[in-house]
Amino acid sequence: MKLKKSLIELASPLTGAGIDEASVRQAVEQILTAIGEDPTRQGINNTPDRFARMLSELLEGYRIDPEALLNGALFEEAYDEMVVVRDIEFYSLCEHHFLPFVGRAHVAYFPKGRVVGLSKIPRIVDMFARRLQVQERMTRQIAEFIDGLLSPWGVAVVIEGLHLCATMRGVKKHDARMTTSTMMGAFRNNPATRQEFLANIARGSAPLL
């Protein structure tokens, strides 16, 4: 399977070999010194290395090959009813404060002769979540990728997120949740279709934490 160039560019916005862990370790040592800590003391002497390895894991979405992720799991299928995958948990990093935001994504599409393997929807969510993000952009990226991949009658993505940058610092509102949505095609143009999707994801949604 060969993806369109636009999808490759959407999924792979960065160039280069990936995270320079040696530079990250050096930077963390400098931060520890700057806040008055001793980078050599027991307990944090290995923190720079742990932090570098953690970043490589949390930001792996930049380095995922979308063709390898999909692994040919696109199927010609006459099914033409709504497909919904709800309560997909995700973890991301706010690009403004480098603090996590976590939540659940709900994804739906109306097939037009083609469906994608079930496990690929959560993998697509993770591909965009595991990078420096803002929730609004991530919501649209997921929808645009699925729309470009399947050319369905419509795509809908709703994301509910809990942002630690708003709970640990700043306004310190620990109960505040952010909801974003992107509706394309039938979900945008047909109120009944949109309402069916929203009613589906509203039934017994799992708590964020």
Q: In 3-state terms, what secondary structure has residue 40?
A: coil
Exactly one of 106, 141, 160, 163 is catalytic; which is it? Answer: 163
Both structure tokens of 78: 């006459």
Query: CA–CA distance from 180 to each of 55, 131, 135 (Å)?
Result: 26, 18, 7
Q: Is 165 a catalytic residue?
A: yes
Q: Is 106 a catalytic residue?
A: no
97 is catalytic: yes
Contact 66, 11 (CB under 8 A): yes
Q: Catalytic residue among 94, 133, 141, 144, which? A: 94
Per the annotation, the verdict on 30 as an active-site residue is: no
Catalytic residue among 37, 67, 89, 97: 97
Cβ neighbours around 44 below 10 Å, total: 15
Q: Which of 21, 67, 89, 165 is catalytic?
A: 165
* Active-site position among 29, 135, 141, 160: 135
54 token code pair: 């953690």
Residues forming beta bridges with residue 90, ordered by sequence position: 103
Report how far residue 89's alpha carbon sits from residue 102's, in angstroms, rounded to the nearest whole number. Answer: 8
Choose the catalytic residue: 95, 136, 174, 195: 95
The active-site residue out of 26, 96, 174, 195 is: 96
Q: Is 9 a catalytic residue?
A: no
CA distance 71 to 11: 15
Active site residues: 94-97, 135, 163, 165
